[in-house]
């Protein structure tokens, strides 16, 4: 099993933690199929790992079909969704399972050697996973 660090904008992180966002949308997805857990990196200005969640399933379809299936718990406006998927033929929706919010947020710049915030996602080093 492996874990992934996913960059998420703070406004969407908040909705995930509140249980209002049950799908995280992506234009591309990890190639490995042994991903068990996703750690949430809240992007600027927070810049910390603040929670993790189990993956329920990953849906893959056209943006239109993904919107129809997931809009109720997508935590995003229709305009922002379709702006994000503009010129994309496929969309991915990661269904968010149980969420574990960290009391103390993790500064990845201090615990992951040569850390650079991921554009989309980042496979976490095994050593990082063992220290949590």
What structural domains does the chain harbor? Answer: 2-130 (2.30.130.30)
pLDDT at 118: 87
Q: What predicted TM-score, i.e. pTM, was given to this entire model?
A: 0.92
Tens of pLDDT, residue by residue over 32-78, are: 888 989 999 999 999 999 999 999 999 999 999 999 999 999 999 99
Burial class (CB in 10 A: 0-12, 13-18, 19+), 131: exposed
pLDDT at 50: 97
pLDDT at 104: 94
How far apart, in whole angstroms, are the C-alpha atoms of residue 104 and residue 78? 33
Query: Could you tell me the CA-to-CA distances from 26 to 73, 106, 114, 123, 129 in Å, in that order?
Result: 15, 24, 25, 16, 23
């Amino acid at each position: 099993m492996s874990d992934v660090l996913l960059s998420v904008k703070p406004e969407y992180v908040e909705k995930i933690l509140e249980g209002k966002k049950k799908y995280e949308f992506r234009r591309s997805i990890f190639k490995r199929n042994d991903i068990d857990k996703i750690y949430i990196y809240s992007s600027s200005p927070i810049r910390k790992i603040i929670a993790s969640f189990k993956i329920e399933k990953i849906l893959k379809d056209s943006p239109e079909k993904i919107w129809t299936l997931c809009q109720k718990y997508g935590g995003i406006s229709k305009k922002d969704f379709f702006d994000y998927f503009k010129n994309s033929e496929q969309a991915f929706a990661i269904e968010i399972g149980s969420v574990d919010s960290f009391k103390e947020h993790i500064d990845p710049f201090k615990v992951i050697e040569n850390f650079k915030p991921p554009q989309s996602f980042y496979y976490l080093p095994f050593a990082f996973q063992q220290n949590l």
